[in-house]
Amino acid sequence: MICVPIVEESVEKALISAERALEVADIVEFRVDYFKEIREEDIVEIAKYPSIITIRAHWEGGKYRGSDDKRIELYKVAIENNVRYIDVELKEKRNRELVDFRDNVNSKTKIVISYHNFKETPSYNKLLDIVNKELQIGDIGKFATMVNNNRDILNVLRVIQEFEGKVIGIGMGKKGKLTRILGTYFGSILTFASMENKSSAPGQIDVEMLKEIYRLISES
């Protein structure tokens, strides 16, 4: 599954970009933290699309600097409207609250618990520990770590394979591009690809280029 991040400053532009992205991708990620203004009615609208809703906190590399209470309430609106996925950080102290809320309102939303490291890729055992902690909370574990060498690539792919079908694994940066191509072959639920030179993390491959790579692989 290919996911295109939508990184626009308004919901109007985000919806236009999402329509275009869904012509070539399976799902989109609305990076709501990029919005200059975030309203509950906007969450209701974007939840109608096959999407991940992410309101990434600034302390995890995102742009959201509003109150944590507001962020949690916006996530709850997304859950009430049965968005396909929400992405909330492992470091977020209230992530279990969102899971409990989802269960209490009988929502179909799957909750992704995520870890990001923009400097390095932790060791294989450390990554295993991180994903295990994520899966003790949410439905899907996610990690996105900076790849600095070939060993990092192997560790990312090994951990994906260990949690096949339960994880989203990403190696960031130029050296991490191989993980974006091969991750889904090893069991990552999805990979992220950019569109129109708009990306949400370093190393994302253009969606059309990624699809061509997959085509060439499948035909070889």
Q: Is 69 exposed, middle or buried (0-12, 13-18, 19+ CB in 10 A)?
A: exposed
The response to whether 200 counts as a known ligand-binding position is yes
Of the listed 63, 70, 110, 116, which one is catalytic?
Answer: 116
The response to whether 31 counts as a known ligand-binding position is yes
The response to whether 29 counts as a known ligand-binding position is yes
Of the listed 142, 166, 175, 211, which one is catalytic?
Answer: 142
Catalytic site includes residue 142? yes
- Give the list of residues 6+ apart from residue 158 with CB closer than 8 angstroms, or none: 124
What is the number of other CB atoms lying within 10 angstroms of the CB of residue 186? 18
The response to whether 56 counts as a known ligand-binding position is yes
Catalytic site includes residue 116? yes
Long-range contacts of 164-170 (CB under 8 A, 24+ apart): 165/189, 166/135, 166/140, 166/141, 167/131, 167/140, 167/141, 167/142, 167/143, 168/112, 168/114, 168/140, 168/141, 168/142, 168/143, 169/142, 169/143, 170/142, 170/143, 170/144, 170/145, 170/201
8 A C-beta contact, residue 19 and residue 77: no
Rounded Cα distance, 16 and 176, in Å: 29
Q: What share of the chain is helix, strand, coil (3-state, %, to 5)?
A: 45, 25, 30
Helix, coil or strand: residue 5: strand
Report, as residue numbers or ranges, the catalytic residues.
116, 142
Annotated binding site for 3-dehydroquinate: 29-31, 56, 180, 200, 204
Annotated binding site: 29-31, 56, 180, 200, 204
